[in-house]
């Protein structure tokens, strides 16, 4: 580099590790360590923000009321702060999305890993990636302007805003995630297991169902939980297509509101700092954060601890 | 089971699996067709030059398009250096201790946090606590937090692909840690780091919910002139137009979606080009050694 300890004409690698350069070395290392530390601070920031604002909320609403009250009307005259309607909305959408994405994703993964030739695979895999890269607001538009009218043709009692359309589209949205992770799990199953089963006279379909899927079960299960967690936290599709009316129902034909959609709705206006409206946003957000965090952790735990193939 | 029964079962299963696999493809085609049919009529030159308007025939995406470009540049500037620094630390410096494992697990967790949670954090931290207001700066900082874990994970993978032998050889010649990183690891890993960074940014560009929470406004008739100006972005504009009942606004939403998708397609193509060029070059190098 320069004359200070380097050799003229040689760029870098032959420089001595001691001397004036050593201080610089340590500074560079420290800067990188700070960068890594910053990512840890982000998590700490999320938790701190939730704790400080949620404390304000729970001094006015008991945790018991929050978890058991069946009405959620924070923006009305008569206020009720029960998370259950929002929770049921989120669960309804996640379960509905799961009905589409879990079987669809697993079957796609089976096709990719067991049946598709390398050419079909090299087309389908990137296409699924593209599908996964489409912004959620586009899926929201699709749910609102295409899927809802389509479903209304089949189910005339379907409301203009309903949980079913949102759930179907969220399912399409998370299908690539489930398919891709399940595909990884199936491809990790050694070929010797398939060959042994085939050699014993098993039909290919039985090899897939009785040998390959059980062997990859932990990875498949992990992909299912992760997919459901993403569906649970999804915001835009639900906010656009499922309406914004929180009530405790498991009827997918009705309009509902999920936790994420409430946060979006409450955050849209210019809400005052320290008001109850402002605090509900953090209380609901904290629940959403905790539940998705637990689901992600379980997914990871399933993959690592229950790993079928050793 | 009898032979014919077995064959029927086999064919049925193959058909089922094949159909399911093309469900995703079919959904993609239908979605794209729907957007193109709805939006093609609203695509015109003045869509790009006009600001938002109550009259659909006069409304355009000038403000949200500029807002998105501002966000893209600022988010890249904030998140890319820090994320790559963190990845370098985790791969090249960090001892394999419990703290390192905790940081690593934490990053994986952050990548799984719903984007709206980042919006809540951005609202509390940037808009309120740091008093940056509902500005393009708050929006970009929020998107940066959302993007960082994704870039860190992909940059780590890129750095891990550089063979151990390269580092050992450089250290053996007396290079310091930073010299090994600067002259050996980074040059080889950089194309893939950039590819991962572009893909992560393309996810940030499509994000709506965090921006709505930090206060992207829906109706502005100017483009941001500085980082403290208020802003809107393409996805936010799409959200608001699509939420209106009139068909004309839905057409505008679809047209804006087409513009957004073209932007994302461009970013993805760029990412692929960067990666492929690198792969060709490295295989070329392989022949000489």
| CA contacts within 13 A on the Cβ side of B33 | 7
Per-residue pLDDT of B58-74, as tens digits, reads 777 888 898 899 999 99
Considering only CB atoms, which chain A residues are within 8 Å of B38?
A: 145
Per-residue pLDDT of A17-27, as tens digits, reads 555 567 888 88
* B214 vs B96, residue with greater confidence: B214
Instruction: Give the three-state DSSP class for A71.
Output: coil
Per-residue pLDDT of B72-88, as tens digits, reads 999 999 999 999 999 99
pLDDT at B216 over 50: yes
Q: What is the pLDDT of residue B218?
A: 64
What tokens were used for A65? 């009321």
The pLDDT profile of chain A, 310 residues, written as one tens digit per residue, is 333 333 333 233 344 455 556 788 888 888 999 999 988 889 999 999 999 888 888 888 888 888 888 788 887 777 888 888 899 999 999 999 999 999 999 999 999 999 888 898 888 888 888 888 899 999 999 999 999 999 888 888 888 888 899 999 999 999 999 999 999 999 999 999 999 999 998 888 999 999 999 999 999 999 999 999 999 999 999 999 988 888 888 888 888 899 999 999 888 866 766 777 788 889 999 999 999 999 999 998 888 876 655 4
Q: What is the pLDDT of residue A167?
A: 94
For B257, which of A108, A138, A285 is closest by C-beta distance? A138
- Report CA A42 to chain centroid distance, whole Å: 18
pLDDT at B55 over 80: no
The reply to whether residue A263 touches residue B213, judged by beta carbons under 8 angstroms, is yes
The reply to whether residue A133 touches residue B85, judged by beta carbons under 8 angstroms, is no
CA-based nearest distance B261→chain A, Å:
8
For A13, which of B145, B179, B207 is closest by C-beta distance? B179
ipTM of the complex: 0.89
From the CB of residue A94, how many other CB atoms can be counted at a distance below 10 Å? Answer: 26
Please name which of A135, A209, A198 lies closest in space to residue B204, comparing C-alpha atoms.
Answer: A135
From the CB of residue B14, how many other CB atoms can be counted at a distance below 10 Å? Answer: 17
What tokens were used for A269? 């206006």
Please name which of A233, A244, A242, A241 lies closest in space to residue A269, comparing C-alpha atoms.
Answer: A244
Please name which of B119, B69, B54, B63 lies closest in space to residue B237, comparing C-alpha atoms.
Answer: B63
Query: Which residue's entry shows tokens 């796609």?
Result: A108
Per-residue pLDDT of B98-119, as tens digits, reads 888 889 989 989 999 999 999 9
Read off the pLDDT of each residue in B248-263 and give the average, rounded to a whole number.
91
Distance, CA of B232 to CA of B139 (rounded, Å): 9
Q: What is the pLDDT of residue A2?
A: 36
pTM assigned to the model: 0.88
Grade residue B3 by pLDDT with cuts at 50, 70 and 90: low
Read off the pLDDT of each residue in B244-264 and give the average, rounded to a whole number.
89
Read off the pLDDT of each residue in B166-184 and give the average, rounded to a whole number.
88
CA-based nearest distance A36→chain B, Å:
4
Contact B224, B72 (CB under 8 A): no
CA-based nearest distance A72→chain B, Å:
20
Largest Cα span, chain A? 82
């Amino acid at each position: 580099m320069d004359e200070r300890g380097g050799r003229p004409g040689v760029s870098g690698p032959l420089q001595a590790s001691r001397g004036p350069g050593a201080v610089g070395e340590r500074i560079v290392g420290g800067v990188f360590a700070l960068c890594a530390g910053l990512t840890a601070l982000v998590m700490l920031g999320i938790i701190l923000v939730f704790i400080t604002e949620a404390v304000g909320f729970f001094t006015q609403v008991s945790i018991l009321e929050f978890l058991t009250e069946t009405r959620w009307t924070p923006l009305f005259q008569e206020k009720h702060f029960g998370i259950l309607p929002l929770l049921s909305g989120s669960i309804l959408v996640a379960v509905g999305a799961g009905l589409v994405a879990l079987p669809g994703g697993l079957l796609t993964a089976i096709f990719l890993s067991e049946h598709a030739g390398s050419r079909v695979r090299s087309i389908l895999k990137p296409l699924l990636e593209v599908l996964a890269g489409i912004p959620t607001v586009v899926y929201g538009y699709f749910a609102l302007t295409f899927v809802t009218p389509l479903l209304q043709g089949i189910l005339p009692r379907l409301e203009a805003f309903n949980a079913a359309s949102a759930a179907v589209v969220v399912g399409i949205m998370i299908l690539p995630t489930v398919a891709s992770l399940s595909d990884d799990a199936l491809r990790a199953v050694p070929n010797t297991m398939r060959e042994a089963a085939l050699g014993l006279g098993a039909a290919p379909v039985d090899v897939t169902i009785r040998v390959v899927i059980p062997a990859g079960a932990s990875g498949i299960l992990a992909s299912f939980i992760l997919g459901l967690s993403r569906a649970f936290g999804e915001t835009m599709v639900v906010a656009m297509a499922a309406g914004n009316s929180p009530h405790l129902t498991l009827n997918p034909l009705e309009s509902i509101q999920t936790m994420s959609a409430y946060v979006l709705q409450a955050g849209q206006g210019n809400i005052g700092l320290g008001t109850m409206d402002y605090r509900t946003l953090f209380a609901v957000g904290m629940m959403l954060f905790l539940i998705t965090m637990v689901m992600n952790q379980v997914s990871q735990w399933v993959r690592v601890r229950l790993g079928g193939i050793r | 089971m009898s032979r014919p029964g077995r064959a029927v079962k086999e064919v049925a299963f193959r058909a089922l699996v094949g159909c399911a696999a093309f469900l995703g493809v079919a959904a993609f085609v239908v979605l794209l067709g729907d957007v193109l049919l709805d939006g093609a009529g609203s695509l015109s030159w003045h869509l790009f030059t006009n600001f938002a308007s109550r009259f659909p025939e006069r409304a355009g995406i000038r403000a949200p398009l500029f807002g998105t470009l501002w966000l893209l540049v600022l988010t890249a500037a904030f998140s890319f250096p820090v994320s790559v620094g963190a990845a370098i630390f985790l791969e090249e410096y960090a001892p394999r201790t419990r703290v390192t494992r905790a940081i690593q697990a934490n990053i994986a967790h952050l990548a799984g946090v719903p984007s709206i949670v980042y919006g809540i954090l951005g609202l509390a931290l940037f808009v309120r606590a740091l008093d940056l207001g509902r500005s393009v700066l708050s929006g970009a900082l929020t998107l940066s937090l959302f993007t960082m874990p994704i870039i860190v994970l992909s940059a780590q993978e890129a750095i891990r692909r550089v063979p151990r032998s390269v580092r050992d050889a450089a250290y053996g010649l007396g290079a310091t840690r930073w010299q090994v990183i600067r002259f050996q690891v980074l040059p080889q890993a950089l194309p893939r780091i950039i590819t991962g960074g572009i893909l992560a940014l393309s996810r940030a560009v499509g994000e709506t919910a965090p921006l709505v929470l930090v206060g992207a406004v829906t109706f502005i008739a100017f483009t941001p002139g500085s980082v403290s100006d208020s802003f809107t972005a393409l996805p936010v504009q799409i959200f608001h137009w699509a939420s209106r009942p009139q068909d004309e606004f839905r057409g505008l939403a679809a047209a804006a979606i087409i513009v957004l998708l073209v932007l994302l397609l461009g970013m993805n193509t760029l990412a692929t080009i960067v990666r492929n060029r690198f792969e060709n070059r490295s295989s070329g190098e392989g022949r000489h050694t």
